[in-house]
Chains A and B, each alone.
Chain A
């Protein structure tokens, strides 16, 4: 929210001229009959997607030349708003002249790009991006019918953001590689969640199977667990500075066991680690002397230097030992 959002603006004013023109006068609206296709020796494919009860529906007609798999003619029928009709029209146009195998690669992003007046200005406002998504789905369905395969077989990935066509795999990888911590960062990196925003969290335009907030939380948790596991596997032999607190205490204890504690015990004393505090410059190890050590003159001088030197050498140069 800021100054530009106060009025909200008119949805329709944000449509490109192409969207407006095609809504007012769609070029490929109509039907192709079985007879017409057969007369030319072509195969007719008719695919539906959506339903009036869902608020959006499209029927796509392809006349395919079986010799070359080329879509020689295409028409559409649509129940939908202006954006749905204009994007159906553009989708139909993009299909004509392509082979079925080429057409199947057309995405809703291609349709939206083709509807732009200028390359860097979106053809429709973000909340209307979903209206072009059906174009993608109905083409897959038509291709599946023609090729005799399931439409789902063209979809090798789970799409989380339909508007920007970002897959679950891509999202998980991007979060991991770039160590992303917020949904805003995900949108910056992938555009996912940048349009109709439904995939960000439950309660948006439409219910989704996957939400960015959940994916982010899952991946972050996995990353944390992996880090812990790696540290645990490395145990007291790993990189001390990246260890968890418990591992650090164990590592310190074992270093002290190996080199220091026996001398303290000989003198009738002992020590225990109380706490560890990390800062960018130092790792402060708080210890408490026990038995004869507490009050011993060298406990703040010689013995302390010996303990600190041992830990620095074995674990990290950043260690400072502070008796309390």
Chain B
């Protein structure tokens, strides 16, 4: 058996989505901006996809949902264009975000700092979320934008977007949320919360890669990131990616119809997996309360088992998971999310993320429980953290005295 439990990284494209896309490669391939029948042939399907998108997040008719190439583009667009509109050509100089955003926010903020923008990176609490009152205290008259993710990719923790939105509205500050890990996983209603901009990505909810979107409240001003032709009203140039737009609309419809029932089904499997691992293994810790977490995500720390080593054993068992462990990433710093939530420093190198999807089966969960236990037992048998014979006096390691 092979089991894919890395659905926060990307998901399988739903076969129904593939089916909806296929006619728009070979049969209906015209440029929708052309006047002739080849161009206009795709219009009904694109209109349908647009409607699916608006319905999926309950956007109003005065709002824009602009298709982009990915959420990284959407995130870059908001940050860089708010910089142009409100900082370079306005009297603001400050952006507020969090320490645990996606790299497409954090790297862009670093870039903007190099351009002279002041950026505040808010810390998260021991539940891994930013508290609204913390945010309030950092907003100033010079703040142009607040950008806070709806749900975190590593922990699945859901941020208080409604409260944050109210604070931003009160203070007259633009509010952007990276909705990538929320849209399609939990109910997202942009009329219920006050967000000015929201980034989305199709491949996180069983749509294709290479297509994302940006929700813009009330079609408000935001200088384009990509200049060019008059596509999407001139807001985002580039020939419309017709099959992918249709795929994204279909995928969002499938993910959001009866979302409560879908969430309950995924959560039942997630909780069963989580309970089984906690019951079977000592010295493990799961980050964040289940009630405030996306229903598909588990971030579990396993004392004595280094994250990349664990991924290796899971991979040998044909299970795909992920780790924020330093060893597996480009730098050797401990996982920032784990450190931010105040986890024991020792656990910061041991996080394994298991993220399910609506295609995950009970048989797969059973298989993973078994393989996961075996991997932990093997690696703990090797682990120095579980060794019995103690060092010769004088042979103890100093505190973090290795070359890292």
Establish whether residues B397 and A80, one from each chain, have CB atoms under 8 Å apart when the complex forms: no
How far is A130 from B349 in the complex, measured between Cα atoms in Å? 16
Report whether B330 and A51 are in contact in the complex, using a CB–CB cutoff of 8 Å: no
Answer whether A81 and B382 are a contact pair too, CB < 8 Å, given A48-B391, A130-B332: no
Bound CA span A79–B305, Å: 6
Q: Quick check: B388 and A47 within 8 Å, CB to CB?
A: no
Cβ-defined contact, B402 with A50, below 8 A: yes
Interface-side segment among B201-209, B288-296, B306-314: B306-314
- Cβ of B334 < 8 Å from any Cβ of A? yes
CB distance from A96 to the nearest CB of B (A): 18
* B304 proximal to A (CB < 8 A): yes
Give the Cβ gap from B378 to chain A, nearest Cβ, in Å. 9
When chains A and B are docked, how far (Å) is the Cα of A61 from the Cα of B395?
11
Asked if A206 meets B404 with Cβ closer than 8 Å, knowing A46-B389, A55-B306, the reply is: yes
Least Cβ distance of A8 to chain B in Å? Answer: 10
Q: Which residues of B contact A127 (CB under 8 A)?
A: 330
Q: Across the interface, do A80 and B306 meet the contact criterion of CB distance under 8 Å?
A: yes
- A55 contacts B391, C-beta separation under 8 Å: no
- Residue among A24, A55, A134, A141 making CB contact with B326, cutoff 8 Å: A55
User: With a CB–CB cut-off of 8 A, which chain A residues contact B383?
Assistant: 77-79
Known contacts: A80-B327, A127-B330. The answer to whether A134 contacts B402 by CB under 8 A is yes
Q: Contact at A47–B309, with CB atoms within 8 Å?
A: no
Q: Is B137 an interface residue (CB 8 A)?
A: no
**CB proximity of B138 to chain A, nearest CB, Å:** 26
Asked whether, in the complex, the Cβ of B387 is within 8 Å of the Cβ of A47, the reply is: no
Complex Cα gap A66–B346 (Å): 37
- Could you tell me the distance in whole angstroms from the C-beta of B313 to the nearest C-beta in chain A? 9
Contact B332 A45, beta carbon cutoff 8 Å = no
B331 adjacent to A205 (CB under 8 Å): yes
Complex contact A56–B397 (CB within 8 A):
no
Contact of B384 among A34, A77, A141 (CB under 8 A): A77
Would A12 and B312 count as touching, CB distance under 8 A?
yes
| B327, B386, B402, B403: most-surrounded residue (chain A CB, <10 A) | B403
CA distance A84 to B402 in the complex (A): 13
For B390, the closest partner residue in chain A by CB is: A46
Measured CA separation A243–B346 after assembly (Å): 60
Most chain A Cβ neighbours within 10 Å, of B327, B396, B401:
B327
| B316 at the A interface (CB under 8 A) | yes
Instruction: Tell me the minimal C-beta distance from B209 to chain A in angstroms.
Output: 15
Chain B hits for A82, CB < 8 A? 308-309, 312
For A260-284 the 0/1 string (1 means CB < 8 A from B) is 0000000000000000000000000
Given contact pairs A47-B392, A47-B395, A57 touches B384 in the complex (Cβ within 8 A):
yes
In the complex, are the beta carbons of A85 and B382 less than 8 A apart? yes
- The residues of A that contact B312 with a CB separation of less than 8 Å are 12, 23, 81-82
Given contacts A48-B384, A49-B397, A57-B384, contact A34 B389 (CB under 8 A): yes
Decide yes or no whether A33 CB sits under 8 A from chain B.
yes
Tell me whether A145 is interfacial, beta carbon within 8 Å: yes
Tell me whether B348 is interfacial, beta carbon within 8 Å. Answer: yes
CA distance A29 to B380 in the complex (A): 11
How many Å lie between the Cα of A142 and that of B331 in the bound state?
29
User: What are the residues of chain A within 8 A of B72 when measuring CB–CB?
Assistant: none
Residues 119-158 of chain A, each 1 if its beta carbon lies under 8 Å from chain B, else 0: 0000000010011011001000110110000000000000
Q: Which of A220-251 contact B (CB under 8 A)?
A: none
Report the minimal beta-carbon distance from B339 to chain A, rounded to whole angstroms. 11
Chain B residue contacts of A186, Cβ below 8 A: none
Question: Is A54 a contact of B404 with CB atoms below 8 Å?
Answer: yes
In angstroms, Cα B390 to Cα A47, docked, is 9
Known: A29-B381, A77-B382, A80-B306. A56 touches B404 (CB 8 A): yes
Min CB distance A232 to B, Å, is 42
Most B-side CB within 10 Å, residue of A47, A56, A82:
A56
Give the complex CA separation of A55 and B306 in angstroms. 7
- B176 CB to nearest chain A CB (Å): 28
CA distance A31 to B402 in the complex (A): 22
Q: How far in angstroms is the closest Cβ of chain A from B393?
A: 8
Interface centre among B307, B312, B350, B384 (most CB of A within 10 A): B384
Quote the shortest CB–CB distance from B264 to chain A (angstroms): 37
Residue of B nearest to A55 (CB): B349
Complex contact A81–B327 (CB within 8 A):
yes
Instruction: Provide the bound-state CA to CA distance between A163 and B383, in Å.
Output: 24
Binary contact readout B248-263 vs A (1 if CB under 8 angstroms, 0 otherwise): 0000000000000000
Q: Is A44 an interface residue (CB 8 A)?
A: yes
* Across-interface contacts of B396 in A (CB, < 8 A): 48
Does B400 lie at the interface of the complex (its beta carbon under 8 Å from any beta carbon of A)? yes
Q: Which residues of the partner chain B approach A50 to less than 8 Å between Cβ atoms?
A: 397, 400-402, 404
Contact status of A46 and B392, CB under 8 A, knowing A52-B346, A85-B309: yes
Which of B330, B388, B403 is close to A162, meaning CB atoms less than 8 Å apart? B403
Beyond A29-B381, A82-B312, 9 extra complex contacts between A and B, CB < 8 Å: A46-B390, A48-B395, A51-B402, A53-B334, A78-B383, A81-B325, A82-B308, A133-B403, A205-B330
List 6 A-B pairs, Cβ < 8 Å.
Answer: A32-B389, A53-B349, A55-B349, A79-B384, A80-B306, A205-B332
**Residues of B near any A CB (own CB < 8 A):** 303-309, 312, 315-316, 325-328, 330-332, 334, 345-346, 348-350, 381-392, 394-397, 399-404
